[in-house]
Structure 1
Amino acid sequence: MKLHDPLIKIGKQLNKNNIEWAVGGSLLLQHYHLIDSPNDIDVLVAEKDVERIKDAMGQVGKRQMASTKDPFRTTYFYRYEVDGVGVDVMGNFAIEHDQGTYQLLFDANHIAEKKNIHGVSIPLAALEDWFVLYQLIPNKQEKAIRIEKYFRTNRVTRPDLLHKALNQPLPIGVRESMKHILYR
């Protein structure tokens, strides 16, 4: 896998620096066999570790120009290249929609599990969080549909995160799909 070696390198560095982080995005979907070929690595980081992750990532990769575009309102967004692979680092991921702004304030509670890859612990973000995010991110609804299908045959393991998300402003359709998988 093209992303395997860079992910291990990132994991070693972030773990060595005791950074609270997790893999999300398409690499997370690949873990659940929902997609075949992720293109990049998405890393969520706790706000308390934002400054330290910039230093740690600078040790393993080269920082790239990064700017947020509408409808994103993410507080901390950095892009790196590690061994030819793009890595997006996001803290306080936020996205604006017609009902307001949804914000994922990542911390250790949002880590669903840790995967051991060649002796390196790789924390995985909760699929439930990405179910919400992919419904809000433009042109990513297909990924949300794949997650929803997954939850039809596999139980929701982190209903607490969906309940927490329901306390934020969300479009009616997103709320309905969340309730559908919560109360099926």
Structure 2
Amino acid sequence: MSEQLDTLAQQVALRLGPADWGIGGSYLLYCHGLVQRAQDLDLVCSPHFYPHARKLLLELGQELAVVAHPEYCSQHFCRIQTASGVIELMAGIQVLRQQHLHQFVFDPLSLQFRHGLPLMQLQDWLQLYQLFDRPQRVALLELHLKQNSCD
């Protein structure tokens, strides 16, 4: 699956261009060698870029139905099934925890480009996995970041 996602990531990069978006999630972890396989292609963008990005990505596949989640309150979210895998596009990420809304602000200036792909920071996805209540991913990233810190 990850080889297909490699191809899909390159297609997305060509389609969206060097704009206001970045790659995260399991594909980011895969690019850093932290997991053997990526499950899908998670893309984060700014809320103002979302409509344009969604329109361009829908040319690659078909939008999937999304079931509302009681805690995930992002401004924008869609899933797109392509021949090479699923793309999840999100913007204005917000999570409701214990009646408090936690927000993640995407910063395109923090992206690292590798093989033409705009990769998000691992620290950003540590924060997001904490918000999404994904303890295994949190532990994986905390260990990796601790082992690779400059302290």
* TM-score, length-scaled by structure 1: 0.75
Does 1:51 find its partner at 2:45? Answer: no
What do the CA deviations read for 1:85-118 (whole angstroms, capped 9, x no partner)?
111000011111126121112131342x0111xx
With over 3 angstroms needed to count, the CA separation of the structure-2 counterparts of 1:40 and 1:48, relative to structure 1, is same
With over 3 angstroms needed to count, the CA separation of the structure-2 counterparts of 1:99 and 1:153, relative to structure 1, is farther
User: What is the CA RMSD across the aligned residues, in angstroms?
Assistant: 1.7
Asked if 2 retains the 8 angstrom alpha-carbon contact of 1:27 and 1:40, the reply is yes
Counterpart of 1:9 in structure 2: which amino acid? Answer: Q
Among candidates 117, 141, 148, match of residue 122 of structure 1: 117
**Alpha-carbon distance in structure 2 between the residues aligned to 1:96 and 1:32:** 29
What do the CA deviations read for 1:101-146 (whole angstroms, capped 9, x no partner)?
21112131342x0111xxxx210011111111112213x1111101
**Alpha-carbon distance in structure 1 between the residues aligned to 2:148 and 2:120:** 17
With over 3 angstroms needed to count, the CA separation of the structure-2 counterparts of 1:52 and 1:137, relative to structure 1, is same
User: Once superposed, which parts of structure 1, at least 4 consecutive aligned residues long, lie more than 2 Å away?
Assistant: none
Give the match's secondary structure for 1:35: coil
Unmatched 5+ stretches in structure 1: 157-183
CA offset at residue 58 of structure 1? 1.6
Looking at both structures, which has the greater relative contact order when contacts are Cα pairs under 8 Å and sequence separation is at least 6? 2
Give the match's secondary structure for 2:10: helix
Structure showing greater Rg: 1
Normalized per residue, which structure has more helix? 1
**Alpha-carbon distance in structure 2 between the residues aligned to 1:99 and 1:144:** 22
Does 1:134 find its partner at 2:129? Answer: yes
Asked if 2 retains the 8 angstrom alpha-carbon contact of 1:19 and 1:53, the reply is no
Give the match's secondary structure for 2:69: coil
Unmatched 5+ stretches in structure 2: none
1:35 aligns to what? 35
Asked if 2 retains the 8 angstrom alpha-carbon contact of 1:60 and 1:82, the reply is yes
* TM-score, length-scaled by structure 2: 0.90
Asked if 1 retains the 8 angstrom alpha-carbon contact of 2:16 and 2:56, the reply is yes
Give the match's secondary structure for 2:28: helix
**Identity over aligned pairs, percent:** 20
